[in-house]
Structure 1
């Protein structure tokens, strides 16, 4: 795109920075995909059988449909927080292209990132099937099931306070440091980099995702709360403090559910 400016000395020609334009396009696409995923989940969660799906760890879905739903949740929750890493990767690859060196599309990096989340969705489905099967065999009461959910909340709160959580969060919060220490050449290398970043992201957020099982997999309010925690702890300067504060809140809520199982319905209503 060219803009012509007139002046006393004649016409001055300035060009829009193509890298900045490409970054804006990528950012807009990431935000757009995230918004579309949110719209899909809100629409799906507003269905007449939404409460039944929330009460089921598998949402009443088979493996392929569950993993697709998990992928939609990943895009909704994680794409806004993955944007700084994707844009940093794009900036470096664009600089290589301008120097006429080999470069790789940013979407290859994001494909590796999503592959790890798809794998985590498959693991989550196996866990959900096992939980449903155990609940049926043991004929657990609603109170017992709620207390198990309280234990999951406590586990998530404790994990927020661990050094492993802090390490994973540090890796997710420093795009340039990650790329400098994890650089791989070529298309397969970009896939590897995306997968490595995805693994750190899963390590950072897996128990926050797990609390969706007791709170309801189709519970949009709970999902929005978890998304806000993930976004703040990954992107804001005081995010590490927010991660710990969220851990304390999850611990408190988990103990409350253990003592009074009906309180798990606070987020399920």
Structure 2
């Protein structure tokens, strides 16, 4: 039987449910952060002279090395998404785990693995977007020649989305995943993957503008990765997350507007 169990309806946390999933999730995220910070992720064109943390550099290197470069970039991007998104997804993974009361240990492991794996896979696919953008508009060149316009415009875009009703709607789903899990629960491993893919769409809708900023400042810039991870984690977990989201929008609007004005003076 694979239906939402009594663990969710009782709201019971329990030492044998969420902590196991939390430890595994944090462990995977930590390993991903170590791989990113220690530069253990392979990228072609290492001798190109480009700094990996520079705006548009990883994307330019990937595109200049054909299919193999794109594959390595998407692998790198997926690891980055795991590092940044998994910590704030612990409540989601833990709640899903608790819907599996009555399922065998092997079945539970397979379903949770499918749920977490699909979540990472969907986020990994989003790495195609910065590659396409860079194929049309080389960010490395634009960042050198029009720094203020590029950063200012991206901040204004971030501000507009952070303050939009679409951001708020997606953020509500990410902050309260229990309702989603109860409404869209599907049995089996395939059902777990389908649920995770569907929920991932809300997460992408919640965070895409922050990741657009990360790509512009440098998708391998560890400092900006850390800052954006903290922001999106607080948005999704902490009680004041919605206020923070709006605050980020206001700050981005002011900073972006100032950069645009200075760039045209």
TM-score strictly above 0.5: yes
CA distance in 1, matches of 2:60, 2:159: 24
Shift of 1:248: 1.1
Aligned to 2:181: 179
* Structure-1 residue corresponding to 2:43: none
1:115-126 correspondence to structure 2 within 5 Å:
115-126=121-132
Q: Is the CA contact 2:143–2:150 (under 8 Å) kept in the aligned structure 1?
A: no
1:35 Cα offset (Å)? 1.3
Relative to its length, the structure with more strand (as a share) is 1
Conserved 8 A contact 2:54-2:140 = no
How many residues are paired up? 236
Kept after mapping to 2: 8 A contact 1:158/1:251: yes
* 3-state SS of paired residue (2:186): coil
Measured in 1, the distance between the counterparts of 2:162 and 2:130 equals 19
Show the 5 A alignment for 1:126-145.
126-132=132-138, 142-145=144-147
Q: Note the C-alpha offset of 1:218.
A: 1.6
* CA spacing shift, 1:211–1:31, aligned 2, 3 Å: same
In angstroms, what is the RMSD of aligned CA positions? 2.7
Tell me the CA shift for residue 175 of structure 1.
1.9
Larger Rg: 1
Unaligned runs of 5+ in 1: 1-18, 262-269
Residue 6 of structure 2 is matched in structure 1 by none
Extract structure 1 runs of 4+ deviating beyond 4 A: 47-50
1:106 to 92, 105, 112: 112
**TM-score where L is the length of structure 1:** 0.79
SS at match of 1:105: helix
In the alignment, is the contact (CA less than 8 A) between 2:217 and 2:224 conserved in 1? Answer: yes
Map 1:162-241 to 2 at 5 A. 162-241=164-243
Distance 1:59 1:230 in 2: 27
